[in-house]
């Protein structure tokens, strides 16, 4: 028995270590990291090195806990501003989008496999949600900064759609397991009621739990080192308690993370660091376990239908669902296409595919294998192409600031101030003589190893370290003062336009200089007002307004969301990027429409 502990620990730690090492390779080659974790699990499993792990309940248990940790962290790391700007489209995607995807995939599955209707829709439900871990990883680490609204929408969607997919799957599993004859009317009522109960309780418990976490952390004088553990344990408590009360624990833990992450927590930096670490571990464990659990030698028999289903999901089901859900929200064609493409499936789908096995449903193993392959296809096809596609669809925004050298230090006892240490970099505004605003309280300057007060230091020089006390939630202004100028490569010049325009000037000036054909009413506005109007009331860094053959580009937005700098491009706008037709259902429909009209 003693030996057992050592052997299991040995195997477990070695696997985790290999996964951690492999991340180095993944960063270098841009391969989807999660695919590698999954691969390591597969390689070590039954058909590889021969680790025989076939305990469905254990796999599901571990996976669920890991998912709770991941969801809490993804809520924790979402700023409330991002959530607000993206909440409506993201929630539409997370609810209606999930149901549509599940339905469409279910429909296809019925024809491609020999599952009956319920089983087919069960299959659809398991692959209906996007994977938070995969989406976050690709959008953040892929070294591209994607347009703000698109990124927030994708992130909030991927965090919040798991609970819906989980609910759908579990309802269907329960339905199949009881084997009762179908009464569609009664069934729909029950499902709707169950949905309201689960999500209602989940939402309330999440909000309450989040507040309790914030209050407790602020009130209790816990040891610094203990706080992150305390927060993690509380989040799992919220998860478990909500589930026990008949709510959706996954929704609760995500919402709690959102509330706690945006509350005034003590030592947020160390909590965040700890969360990052735990989330990594949770992801590694989840994918390893799921990889171990799978049996690739069984894949051959269902490979073809699974592959077709995977492609159907990527090229038809997801684009249709996304296009329909985003109709009311004024997304451009390219944005819709990009959101369709970043619908990566991941661990949650595989995890959900275990549930039929636990309940020993007929065809459970085949379903699990099919889902596994769908996820592999999605991770490979979409995971590898997100970066290039983002560039092609002009979803990438050049970085706003150049490199910045900053350390945040935590102050003992004070919840409302932070100490920031900046290194003055050459070319930054402070180095060129800009003063630091008074509210920032520059306390100390260290130059050539000697410390002096800010008042005596005079003009800051490159290489100085400046220590600044700031109230919580300091504005980005400070970062801007200390950042080196953003590198403008020629493509950026194309992106932002060669010329600059003063947004406070009247739009009539534009008409006078370039005659793009503005109406009298538009000419009476300032350029900033005019652009805001054309952009639908909200301007965002990198937004473009095309006027005949010139384009106005938002170069900067200030803290209040007002347009602060505008670029003017005289390059004839490139023909809109071509999107594969299947990705853009709207375009396909309009082409079909013109074709039909042409016939008549």
Nearer to other proteins, 470 or 568 (CB): 568
Three-state DSSP state, 546: strand
Nearer to other proteins, 84 or 505 (CB): 505
Nearer to other proteins, 204 or 401 (CB): 401
Binding of other proteins at residue 514 (CB under 8 A)?
yes
Binding of other proteins at residue 590 (CB under 8 A)?
no
- At closest approach, how far in Å is the CB of 482 from other proteins? 18
Three-state DSSP state, 559: coil
Interface residue with other proteins among 174, 411, 498, 581 (CB under 8 A) is: 498
**Those residues with Cβ within 8 angstroms of residue 140's Cβ, 6 or more apart along the chain or in another chain:** none
What is the residue-wise DSSP string for 422-484?
A: EEPPTTSTTTTTPPPPGGG-EEEEEETTEEE-HHHH-S--TT-EEEEEEESS--THHHHHHSP
Binding of other proteins at residue 502 (CB under 8 A)?
yes
Nearer to other proteins, 110 or 555 (CB): 555
- At closest approach, how far in Å is the CB of 319 from other proteins? 29
Nearer to other proteins, 287 or 541 (CB): 541
Binding of other proteins at residue 492 (CB under 8 A)?
no
Nearer to other proteins, 12 or 548 (CB): 548
Nearer to other proteins, 9 or 500 (CB): 500
Binding segment toward other proteins, per CB under 8 A, in 206-214, 384-392, 504-512, 532-540: 504-512
Binding segment toward other proteins, per CB under 8 A, in 56-64, 136-144, 483-491, 578-586: 483-491
Q: Strands 442-447 and 465-471: what pairing?
A: antiparallel
Three-state DSSP state, 128: coil
Binding of other proteins at residue 443 (CB under 8 A)?
no
Binding of other proteins at residue 214 (CB under 8 A)?
no
Binding of other proteins at residue 490 (CB under 8 A)?
yes
Nearer to other proteins, 169 or 484 (CB): 484
- At closest approach, how far in Å is the CB of 578 from other proteins? 16
**Those residues with Cβ within 8 angstroms of residue 198's Cβ, 6 or more apart along the chain or in another chain:** 163, 167, 246, 247, 248, 251
Question: Rounded distance, CA 62 to CA 70, Å?
Answer: 12
For residues 142-174, one letter each, b for 16 or more C-beta atoms within 10 angstroms of the residue's C-beta and e for the rest, the string is bebbbbbbbbbbbbbbbbbbbbbbbbbbbbbbe
- At closest approach, how far in Å is the CB of 529 from other proteins? 15
Report residue 375 as tokens.
Answer: 């996820």
Question: Rounded distance, CA 7 to CA 21, Å?
Answer: 21
- At closest approach, how far in Å is the CB of 530 from other proteins? 13
What's the order of all strands across the beta sheet hosting 450-452? 406-409, 417-423, 465-471, 442-447, 450-452
Question: Among residue numbers 517 through 576, which ones bind other proteins (CB under 8 A)?
Answer: 548-550, 566, 568, 570-572, 574
Contact between 42 and 238 under an 8 Å Cβ cutoff? The reply is: no
How far is the CA of 379 from the CAs of 163, 486, 559, in angstroms? 21, 33, 37
Nearer to other proteins, 90 or 501 (CB): 501
- At closest approach, how far in Å is the CB of 115 from other proteins? 50
Question: Rounded distance, CA 293 to CA 347, Å?
Answer: 12
Residues in contact with other proteins by the rule CB under 8 A: 485, 488, 490, 493-494, 498-502, 505, 509-510, 512-515, 548-550, 566, 568, 570-572, 574
């Amino acid at each position: 028995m003693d030996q057992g502990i050592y052997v299991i620990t040995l195997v477990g730690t070695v696997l985790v270590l290999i996964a951690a090492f492999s991340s180095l390779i993944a960063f270098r080659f841009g391969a989807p990291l999660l695919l590698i974790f999954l691969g390591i699990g597969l390689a070590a499993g039954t058909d590889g090195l021969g680790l025989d792990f076939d305990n469905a309940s254990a796999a599901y248990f571990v996976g669920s806990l890991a998912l709770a940790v991941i969801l809490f962290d993804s809520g924790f790391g979402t700023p409330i501003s991002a959530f607000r700007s993206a909440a409506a489209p993201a929630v539409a995607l997370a609810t209606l989008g999930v149901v549509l995807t599940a339905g469409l995939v279910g429909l296809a599955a019925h024809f491609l496999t020999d599952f009956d209707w319920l089983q087919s829709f069960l299959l659809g439900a398991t692959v209906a949600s996007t994977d938070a871990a995969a989406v976050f990883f690709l959008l953040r680490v892929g070294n591209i900064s994607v347009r703000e609204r698109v990124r927030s929408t994708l992130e909030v969607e991927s965090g919040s759609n798991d609970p819906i997919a989980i609910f759908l799957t579990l309802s269907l599993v329960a339905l199949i397991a009881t084997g009762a004859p179908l009464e569609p009317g009664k069934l729909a009522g029950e499902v709707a009621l169950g949905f309201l109960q689960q999500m209602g309780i989940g939402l309330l418990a999440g909000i309450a739990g989040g507040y309790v976490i914030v209050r407790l952390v602020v009130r209790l004088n816990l040891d610094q080192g203990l706080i992150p553990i305390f927060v993690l344990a509380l989040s799992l408590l919220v998860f478990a308690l909500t589930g026990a009360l008949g709510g959706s624990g996954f929704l609760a833990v995500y919402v709690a993370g959102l509330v706690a992450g945006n509350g005034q927590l003590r030592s947020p930096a160390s909590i965040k660091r700890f969360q990052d670490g735990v989330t990594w571990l949770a992801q590694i464990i989840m994918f390893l376990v799921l990889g171990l659990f799978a049996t690739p030698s069984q894949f051959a028999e269902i490979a073809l239908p699974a592959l077709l289903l995977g492609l159907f999901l990527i090229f038809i089901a997801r684009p249709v669902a996304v296009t329909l859900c985003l109709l009311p929200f004024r997304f451009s064609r390219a944005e819709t296409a990009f959101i369709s493409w970043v619908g990566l499936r991941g661990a949650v789908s595989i995890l959900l595919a275990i549930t039929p096995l636990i309940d020993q449903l007929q065809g459970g193993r085949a379903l699990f294998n099919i889902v596994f392959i769908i996820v592999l296809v999605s991770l490979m096809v979409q995971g590898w192409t997100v970066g290039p596609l983002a560039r092609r669809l002009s979803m990438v925004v050049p970085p706003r600031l150049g490199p910045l050298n900053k350390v945040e230090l935590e102050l003992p006892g004070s919840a409302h101030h932070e100490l920031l240490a900046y290194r003055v970099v050459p070319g930054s505004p402070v180095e060129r003589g800009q003063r630091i605003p008074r509210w920032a309280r520059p306390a100390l300057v260290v130059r050539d190893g000697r410390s002096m007060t800010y008042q005596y230091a005079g003009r800051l020089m490159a290489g100085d370290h400046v220590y600044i006390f700031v109230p919580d939630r300091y504005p980005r202004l400070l970062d801007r003062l200390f950042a080196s100028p953003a590198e403008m490569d020629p493509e950026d010049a194309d992106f932002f336009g060669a010329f600059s325009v003063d947004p406070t000037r009247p739009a009539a000036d534009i008409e006078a200089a370039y005659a793009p054909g503005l109406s009298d009413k538009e000419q009476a506005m300032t350029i900033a007002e005019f652009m805001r109007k054309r952009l639908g009331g909200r301007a965002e860094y990198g937004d473009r307004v095309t006027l005949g053959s010139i384009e106005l580009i938002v170069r900067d937005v200030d803290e209040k969301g007002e347009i602060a700098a505008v670029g003017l491009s005289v390059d004839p706008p490139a023909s809109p990027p071509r999107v594969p037709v299947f990705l853009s259902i709207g375009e396909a429909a309009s082409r079909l429409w013109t074709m039909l009209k042409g016939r008549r």
